């Protein structure tokens, strides 16, 4: 596995390029501000009347409508929600990508699953930070960076990798390391990780623990602290020193419980089902279902989102967090700005 660092991912190749960041959501906010602070010419492409217009200008950046931004730029980075990229590409971007320009992504979904098929005369590359956008910004501001993946789908200019590595440098990723991969591997592993472990796996594990304690008659506040709040403290230890540091820090009693009850709860059936999740991703079944869900205005997605917002654990969590004002002070997400 090839990993690039700042010495091999110099920012020079980006210095004379104009970069359009399309969308000012989680990643768009981070990429545009980090590139700007790295001295790169950046414009943010937005819809007419988008509420982000004000946020972009308040950050000291320039906004343009998507078409205009794509026309102006040498490099167009697609940071819209994956499910909207195909439509925006077809309507506003495609015709503005003259030969020699570069189209970029932070996730391989649209290229790998054929939702966007770019012309052969442009470069197509990916720089995918392995972390949420708000962390990409926060780490950069600390002088650190979130590791990134880099992949090249089309190399019409012969310089696609050099420019993509430069981009990774500009957003701070090269400080941590830039791992070379393919659109296929990034797409399949990213979807699997978020579904089975990081987002789907973890939330459903925590909620099941919370519900088990509440259903057994324990106070929901206790259940929240034990099964949800403490997760961060444990994950921070793993983040810095692996499972071994975490197990070094917890009591021997907790460590013994980890070894006996962990594999009973997360048993062999879990891996069988994880393999099925991976198979559905690899065969394009997940992508098909997600795109079809969007065609009918996301009824099942919205029902789930609204249902979870009503879960007892969200209400208990909000009241407990209000008792810990220091958490609010260091919050990374500020919905008025980013």
The window from 46-54, 206-214, 286-294, 326-334 that contacts ligand NAD (CB under 6 A) reads: 46-54
| Phi and psi angles of residue 280, each rounded to the nearest 5 degrees, phi first | -65, -35
201 binds, among Mg ion, ligand NAD, none (CB under 5 to 8 A by kind): none
Site string for ligand NAD, 106-125 (x = CB under 6 A): xx------------------
128 binding partner (options ligand NAD, Mg ion, none; Cβ < 5 to 8 Å by kind): ligand NAD
76 binds ligand NAD (CB under 6 A): no
> With contact defined as beta carbons under 8 Å apart, do 154 and 160 qualify?
yes
Burial class (CB in 10 A: 0-12, 13-18, 19+), 283: exposed
In this structure, the number of other CB atoms found within 10 A of the CB of residue 151 comes to: 25
| Ramachandran angles phi, psi of 79, nearest 5° | -120, 40
CA–CA dist 15, 167 (Å, integer) = 10
Partner from ligand NAD, Mg ion, none binding residue 139, C-beta < 5-8 Å depending on class: none
Q: Is 46 in the site for ligand NAD (CB under 6 A)?
A: yes
Instruction: Give me the least distance between CB of 12 and ligand NAD, in Å please.
Output: 25
Tokens found for residue 331: 């919050």
**Cα 153 from Cα 111, distance rounded (Å):** 8
Q: Is 27 in the site for ligand NAD (CB under 6 A)?
A: yes
Q: Please give the Cα distance from 24 to 53 (Å, whole number).
A: 9
Residue nearest to ligand NAD (CB): 25
Site for ligand NAD in 254-283 (CB under 6 A): none
Residue 227's binding partner among Mg ion, ligand NAD, none (Cβ under 5 to 8 angstroms by kind) is none
Q: Of 42, 97, 52, 106, nearest to 79 (Cα)? A: 106
Q: Is 145 in the site for ligand NAD (CB under 6 A)?
A: no
Task: Please tell me whether residue 186 binds Mg ion under the rule CB under 5 A.
Answer: no
**For residue 57, what are the contacts with CB-CB under 8 A and spacing of at least 6?**
63
31 noted as active-site residue: no
Question: Residues in contact with ligand NAD, total (CB under 6 A)?
Answer: 23
Return all residues near 280 (Cβ < 8 A) that are at least 6 apart: 286
Positive or negative CA dihedral for 49, 55, 56, 61?
positive
Active-site option among 107, 112, 153, 229: 107
Residues 191-210 touching Mg ion, rule: CB under 5 A, are: 194
Among 17, 41, 52, 226, binds ligand NAD (CB under 6 A): 52
Residue with tokens 């012309």: 119
User: Which phi-psi region, left, alpha or beta, contains residue 175 (left: φ > 0; alpha: ψ -120 to 50)?
Assistant: alpha
Pair 29, 338: CB distance under 8 Å? yes
77: left (phi over 0), alpha (psi -120 to 50) or beta: beta
* Interface with Mg ion, residue 82, by CB under 5 A: no
CB of 242 to ligand NAD, least distance (A): 23
Residue 139 as a binder of Mg ion (CB under 5 A): the answer is no
Q: Which is nearer to ligand NAD, 94 or 247 (CB)?
A: 94
Token pair listed for 44? 């943010």
> Is 298 a binder of ligand NAD (CB under 6 A)?
no
**To the nearest whole angstrom, how small is the minimum distance from the Cβ of residue 49 to ligand NAD?**
10
Q: Which residue among 13, 66, 190, 313 contacts Mg ion (CB under 5 A)?
A: 190
Active site residues: 107
Per CB under 5 A, residues contacting Mg ion are 190, 194
Per CB under 6 A, residues contacting ligand NAD are 23-28, 46-47, 50, 52, 66, 79-82, 84, 88, 106-107, 128-129, 132-133
């Amino acid at each position: 596995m090839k990993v690039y660092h700042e010495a091999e991912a110099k920012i020079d190749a980006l210095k004379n390029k104009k970069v359009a960041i399309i969308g000012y959501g989680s990643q768009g906010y981070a990429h545009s501000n980090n590139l700007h602070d790295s001295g790169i010419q950046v414009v943010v492409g937005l819809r007419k009347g988008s509420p982000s217009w004000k946020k972009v200008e308040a950050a000291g950046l320039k906004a343009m409508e998507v078409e205009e931004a794509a026309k102006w730029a040498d490099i167009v980075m697609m940071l819209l929600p994956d499910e909207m990229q195909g439509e925006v590409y077809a309507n506003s971007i495609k015709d503005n990508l003259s030969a020699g320009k570069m189209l970029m992504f932070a996730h391989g979904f649209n290229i790998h699953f054929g939702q966007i098929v770019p012309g052969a005369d442009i470069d197509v590359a990916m720089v995918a930070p392995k972390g949420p956008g708000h962390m990409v910004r926060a780490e950069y501001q600390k002088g650190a960076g979130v590791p990134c993946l880099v992949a090249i789908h089309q190399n019409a200019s012969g310089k696609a990798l050099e420019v993509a590595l430069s981009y990774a440098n500009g957003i701070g990723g090269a400080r941590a390391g830039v791992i070379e991969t393919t659109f296929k591997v990034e797409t399949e592993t990213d979807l699997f990780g978020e579904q089975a472990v990081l987002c789907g796996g973890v939330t459903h594990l925590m909620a099941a623990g919370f519900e088990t304690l509440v259903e057994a008659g324990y106070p929901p506040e206790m259940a929240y602290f034990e099964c949800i709040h403490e997760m961060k403290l444990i994950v921070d230890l793993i983040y810095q020193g692996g499972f071994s540091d975490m197990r070094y820090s917890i009591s021997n009693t907790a460590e013994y419980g980890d070894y006996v009850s962990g594999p009973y709860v997360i048993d062999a059936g879990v891996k069988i089902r994880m393999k099925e999740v991976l198979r559905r991703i690899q065969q394009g079944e997940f992508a098909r279902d997600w795109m079809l869900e969007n065609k009918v205005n996301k009824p099942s997605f919205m029902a789930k989102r609204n249902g979870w917002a009503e879960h007892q654990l969200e209400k208990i969590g909000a009241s407990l967090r209000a008792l810990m004002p220091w958490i609010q002070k260091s919050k990374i997400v500020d919905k008025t700005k980013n």
